[in-house]
Amino acid sequence: MQEDSNPTKEYLFEYISKSKKIPELISKQRFSEIIEEIIANCYDKILTFGKKEETVSTLATGLLHYLLTNSMLPSQRKVKYSGIDIDIVIPDLKTLQNDPKKSLIIYIPKTYNIKTIQDKMEEFKKIQPETQNIWIVLGEHMDTKHRCYVLEKQNSSFSEIIFDIAQFVNIAGDNKFKILRV
């Protein structure tokens, strides 16, 4: 199944492909700097492609997919488990099913409606009883009981997410996944 074209994704990956700096940062595992570089140079433009919550969500998703692949952190994206759609599960659904303590769910909503977000978080609790292992990525600050990363032009906490995922995998996961130096 081929995905529909998306101007945010297209712009993001075009920017990455033309950058001389990003491959250098990848080789040095400087993932926070990559995120900061992309936000500084792409954020304003992607906001012109549609509603903020949708474009920022797409930017966060695209960036995470790209960085998880390049960091070689184990993950599965856009999967369904017990009828629940999951944006990203780390390391995989099998681990979530067998040992939730070693599994992480990352939710990237395309809405800022707090009721919708809370309902989805309650849904996740049915498949991930370790609520501290349910993280959320938003385009603006909101009160939430879960670990939250915010992707904004200024004061973005999103730039730390790959480091935190690697740290989670290194602590909760098997030693064979100790890839990033954290």
Q: What's the 3-state SS for the chain?
A: CCCCCCHHHHHHHHHHHHCCHHHHHHHCCCHHHHHHHHHHHHHHHHHHHCCHHHHHHHHHHHHHHHHHHHHCCCCEEEEEECCEEEEEEECCHHHHHHCHHHCEEEECCCCCCHHHHHHHHHHHHHHCCCHHHEEEEECCCCCCCCEEEECCCCCCHHHHHHHHHHHHHHHHCCHHHCCCCC
pLDDT attached to residue 178: 46
Query: How many percent of the chain have pLDDT more than 90?
Result: 80
pLDDT at 8 over 50: yes
pLDDT attached to residue 176: 46
Q: Greater confidence, 174 or 8?
A: 8
User: 170: pLDDT confidence band, cut at 50, 70 and 90?
Assistant: confident
pLDDT attached to residue 154: 87
Q: pLDDT tens for residues 30-77? A: 999 999 999 999 999 999 999 999 999 999 999 999 999 998 889 999
Domains and CATH numbers, the chain: 7-177 (3.40.91.80)
